[in-house]
Amino acid sequence: MNGTAATDPSPSRVSQPIGNGVFVAVVGPSGAGKDTVIEHARGHLADSCIIEFARRVITRPCDGQSEQHDSMTEDEFETAEKQGAFALAWKAHGLRYGIPASADAAIRDGRVVIANASRNEIARMRRRYATLIVAEITAEPEVLAERLAARGRESRAEVLARLARSKPGDLGPSVFRIDNSGTPDAAGDAFLRLVLQAAEHASRPVARKKSK
């Protein structure tokens, strides 16, 4: 998801990077399947005492088809941001997105926080968190186009514009690219392995969900 960096509200500024835990930012173009790989990992790690999945706040209703999120109006979001309710906040595609401030507390407590984030926010995340891992979810252009068209939310011109904006660039160190052009389980398993590696660097031992 692409976005325009927002200015940190005063209540959520940090004087130095937040340490102990690991922030895992899941980025990539629309249609790449970020929510799919996150949900795959959640299914295996739901009982973990160290790994948390951040629930985003977005200024759109939850339609039951895309990610499960909390909804706010523009005015509500602006007020919440000024009050320091978000660890990170940005604008993209005419909407506003926020990661709750509870993510910062979890990182300080030595946990792993996984969040669907914006690639344009990576520089700010590097300043905010001492340990940042970026999982870039990708897919072949024709796969992206097919998935976006299937949503029925945009015209062909809008889909092409999204793809033009989603060309990958240099995202810096600790970036792991996962191709999700094939089966969702393959990409999901690759992401799950990355999360477990992140947990090894956190301050607490990971507790995995027992297989049935």
At 144-173, the pLDDT tens digits run 877 777 776 666 666 666 666 666 566 777
| Domains of the chain, first to last | 4-200 (3.40.50.300)
Contact 117, 171 (CB under 8 A): no
> Does 172 count as an annotated binding residue?
no
Which has the higher per-residue pLDDT, 6 or 36? 36
- Residue 172's φ and ψ, nearest 5 degrees, are 90, -165
**Is 34 labelled a binding residue?**
yes
Q: Is 64 annotated as a binding residue?
A: no
Confidence of residue 12 (pLDDT cuts 50, 70, 90): low
Each residue of 4-21: b (16+ CB within 10 Å) or e? eebebbeebeeeeebebb
Q: Residue 4's pLDDT is what?
A: 34
For the cut 60, the answer to whether the pLDDT of residue 210 exceeds it is no
Query: What per-residue confidence (pLDDT) applies to 127?
Result: 94
**Any known ligand binding at 84?**
no
Is the Cβ–Cβ distance between 5 and 139 less than 8 Å? no
Q: Is 3 annotated as contributing to ligand binding?
A: no
Handedness of CA 4, 142, 38, 114 (dihedral sign): negative
Give the pTM: 0.81
Euclidean distance between CA atoms 86 and 102, whole angstroms: 8
Q: Which residue has the higher pLDDT, 88 or 205?
A: 88
Q: Which residues contact 188 (CB under 8 A, 6 or more apart)?
A: 36, 37, 39, 40, 41
33 annotated as ligand-binding: yes
**CA dist., res. 128 & res. 186, Å (int):** 31
Is 28 marked as a binding-site residue? yes
- Could you give the CA distance from residue 82 to residue 93 in angstroms, rounded to a whole number? 21
Copy the structure tokens of residue 87. Answer: 């660890």
32 is in an annotated binding site: yes
